[in-house]
Amino acid sequence: MNSKLLISLSLIILMGCSTTKQVAKKEIKKEVVTIDAVKSGKDLYDNRCGKCHKLFAPTDYSIKRWPGIVDSMQPKANITDEQKAQILAYLSSEAK
């Protein structure tokens, strides 16, 4: 085996390793963002959604009903699309 071939082989192996590491890092980051969204979603929900009526329990409605309900409550609660998505992330994580 000549040394050039050996070097390119080990380069390929090295590159393979670093790609896997990067993918793993990305996945971890995604998870953290999701947990953050659920947490700030709960804060938003507690602060914005119990002003006009009792705070409904996430389990009061199914995971299918919540998106439509939060859509119709968005103008009432005066929340941005991002805040709406966070509230939904929280509700979906707790809904039945």
Q: x/- site string to ligand HEC, residues 22 to 41, per CB under 6 A?
A: --------------------
- The distance from CA 84 to its chain's CA centroid, rounded to whole angstroms, is 13
DSSP conformational letter for 44: H
Say whether residue 52 binds ligand HEC (CB under 6 A). Answer: yes
- Return the range that interacts with ligand HEC (CB under 6 A); candidates 1-9, 16-24, 32-40, 44-52: 44-52
- The distance from CA 46 to its chain's CA centroid, rounded to whole angstroms, is 19
CB-wise, 32 or 52, nearer to ligand HEC? 52
Q: What are the φ and ψ backbone dihedral angles of 9, each rounded to 5 degrees?
A: -65, -45
